[in-house]
């Protein structure tokens, strides 16, 4: 069960650290807390990405749709 730091997860997703923290706070990305550290399981990050993958649309269209959904709450 590989665990990633918030920074590593943000690097993998290509978003800011604050963006990952927002996903964690909203419960959209599950995390593991060990003491004061907040970590993301690799399998959870992969599942998060897979759930947002849209077939038949360009990556730009998919990214824009995800961004709109996240902005709406």
Domain boundaries, the chain: 3-72
- Buried/exposed code over 26-61 (b: 16+ C-beta within 10 A; e: otherwise): eeebebeeeeeeebbbeebbeebeeeeeeeeeeeee
Tokens encoding 56: 């038949």
Alpha helices per DSSP H over 1-73: 6-13, 17-25, 42-52, 59-72
pTM (2 decimals)?
Answer: 0.70
Distance CA 5, CA 54 (A): 26
How confident is the model at residue 62, as a pLDDT?
67
CATH (residue range 3-72): 1.10.1660
pLDDT tens by residue, the chain, 73 residues? 799 999 999 999 999 999 999 999 999 999 999 999 999 999 999 999 988 886 665 666 666 777 787 887 6
How confident is the model at residue 56, as a pLDDT?
61
How confident is the model at residue 44, as a pLDDT?
96
């Amino acid at each position: 069960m590989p665990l990633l730091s918030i920074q590593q997860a943000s690097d993998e997703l290509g978003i800011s650290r604050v963006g990952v923290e927002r996903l964690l706070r909203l419960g959209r990305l599950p995390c593991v807390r060990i003491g004061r550290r907040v970590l993301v399981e690799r399998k959870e990050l992969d599942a998060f990405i897979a759930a947002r993958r849209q077939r038949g649309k360009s990556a730009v269209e998919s990214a824009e749709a995800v961004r709109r959904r996240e902005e709406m709450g």
